[in-house]
Structure 1
Amino acid sequence: MKLMLDTIEYQSKPEGREAGSISNRIINHSVDISIEELANNLVKGKTFIPAYFREKDGKIRRNKSYWHSQEVIALDFDDGMTL
């Protein structure tokens, strides 16, 4: 699966300025991995974008015109909710 995966592992949920730096960093790190590899990375505390964004004119942005494909759909539970 092609998607965007952060390179940093977190022990707790990033907040504020740190969350913004993730978005800037993750958009430049595309990977092609298996579902098992993705699960292993998520357990380690890595963040991901379940879509693949392509480069246009030497840059990648996190918006619809750069979106290329998506093979994963994810649910994000916050505020103490769990499955």
Structure 2
Amino acid sequence: MSQPYLCPKCKTNRTRFHQIVQEVRPVKLDPHTGEIAEQFSNEKLDAFHMQYNGPDMRIQCGACGLNEMEECFITFAKNDAHN
């Protein structure tokens, strides 16, 4: 369901945003080169690899550049006294 946004930093932008969809790729890096040594699936992580539990999407204000979780923009729009 769509929700209105309001930027909590610039407090004026209600229309220009970037929806940033995050793609999770569990990997193991070589500690010396930084190259990917191994890739995992989310279902088959090794014993020392915690599963990602962050947001699937983040929002960036198209006016001031603030980058936060979507709930932050939605909550600020709901609590706005000028709405």
Structure number with the higher strand fraction is 2
Tell me the TM-score normalized by structure 1.
Answer: 0.24
Structure with higher helix content: 1
Report the TM-score, using the length of structure 2 for normalisation.
0.24
